[in-house]
Amino acid sequence: MSPKDALIDDHDRFELEDAKAAARKANTISTVDEAVKEELFSSQEKFQLRVNNQKLGLVRALLKIGNWDDAKHLMTLMPPQYCLSMDDRVRRNLSRLISIGIDDIYRSNSGLPTLIANRIKPMETKSVKYFKSASSFQEFVDDVYPLIQFIGPFIFSDTLLMTKLIRIFNVVIKREKSSKEKKNLESGEQDIAVDNDNSIDSFVCEKDYELTPQLKACIINILDEVILPGISLTESNCGLAEELWSLLRLFPFETRYRLYHGWKKTPTNALMMKKRASDLKKIKYVMKRLSKENVKPTGRQIGKLSHSNPSFLFETVSNGFVSPSGVDEDLSSTSTIDSTSLDDAYTGHCSLYSFPRSCLRSKPTTTSSYQSLTRLST
């Protein structure tokens, strides 16, 4: 089958080096014209490697009929995530397979009103012969979770699938909190405060799904390795960011802080490196034109950029101010920043309290400038 493995390895290595070069160029300012580097693959050769790749075609066909085991075996023979990064049809077929796997669980645990939930139709699975939908969360962990873990951040191609996963996890965690509240009331212990909009009495649930420690670990891993990096590859999806916040707000501060910290780590695959470099160029472009006269328009632009990667954005923006109060003023000037971005900004800047005092003395900052960030999360 064509192309040869050596050619695929060279192509993957070239794409990674090209992404690293784009990241370096975005992080440096040079007044000297760089020498034109001779490309190993022409644009026509890259196109042929994507379109006329028989190995990718076989992987697509196997995923289309639900033969996950053989498809995974073929993908592991190629460079890591090569199939997912080079072929959008592979990503879509794998996303469809995951959607089929969670279909039964989602229709019972969508968290939508009863009238709407009853209208959700089962997915068409006639062409999928070797994969079935999970009927319990134990089957989800055993059969569907490996697929979600394999697709990683490339789940960004299917924002509907990301929304379904977020809603399922949202219902499960809320149900667990509600059951603990009822046990405390029955045992005479102190009541746990729960928001009215977090009530799960109206949720559709035909089966008894329990939040086990194994399932909770899977949820956190999916958020850390799949959904948050996947959102970084989307383009300013405010609705998805708000849907994500409805889930993140159920976790304690420590868990959210760890997730946000992992969100801003340097990416390792070529597609995310190029997206990070592109976002950095846009941020620098906006910050260069920031002045007292255009604070509100600049805040709106920053708000739109923050939907995809708030951790990285606010860290970059804060480096452009003398004190964090400048970040506070800029963020307060816009209403386009979603709840996840506001929580990320507040959570991230809280870490400044743990800095050595010698570091804080080097800048004319005050405690009140840090405390002013608290109103961003209210």
**Domain ranges, ordered by start, for the chain:** 1-27+39-86, 89-233, 270-377
Is a pLDDT exceeding 70 seen at residue 4?
yes
Q: Reduce the DSSP state of residue 188 to 3 states and report it.
A: coil
The mean pLDDT of the chain is: 77
- The predicted structure's pLDDT at residue 357: 39
Is a pLDDT exceeding 90 seen at residue 152?
yes
Q: What is the rounded CA–CA span in Å between residue 182 and residue 189?
A: 10
Tokens of 370: 């840090």
- The predicted structure's pLDDT at residue 156: 93
Q: How confident is the model at residue 345 (pLDDT cuts 50, 70, 90)?
A: low
Q: What is the rounded CA–CA span in Å between residue 148 and residue 97?
A: 10
- The predicted structure's pLDDT at residue 44: 66
Closest CA to 131 of 107, 96, 89: 96
Q: What is the rounded CA–CA span in Å between residue 328 and residue 363?
A: 16
Is a pLDDT exceeding 90 seen at residue 73?
yes
Is a pLDDT exceeding 50 seen at residue 197?
no
Element at 17 (helix H, strand E): helix 5-27
Closest CA to 237 of 338, 328, 167: 338
The label of the residue with tokens 């994969």 reads 131
Other Cβ atoms less than 10 A from the Cβ of 196: the count is 5
Is a pLDDT exceeding 50 seen at residue 214?
yes
Closest CA to 235 of 282, 298, 165, 285: 282
End-to-end CA distance of the chain: 58
Mean pLDDT value across residues 346-361: 44
Is a pLDDT exceeding 70 seen at residue 356?
no
Tokens of 63: 């995923």
- The whole model's pTM is what? 0.79
Q: How confident is the model at residue 188 (pLDDT cuts 50, 70, 90)?
A: low
- The predicted structure's pLDDT at residue 269: 85
Mean pLDDT value across residues 347-375: 41
Q: What angle do CA 121, 229, 315 make, to 5 degrees?
A: 140
Which range of 134-143, 185-194, 309-318 scores highest in mean pLDDT? It is 134-143
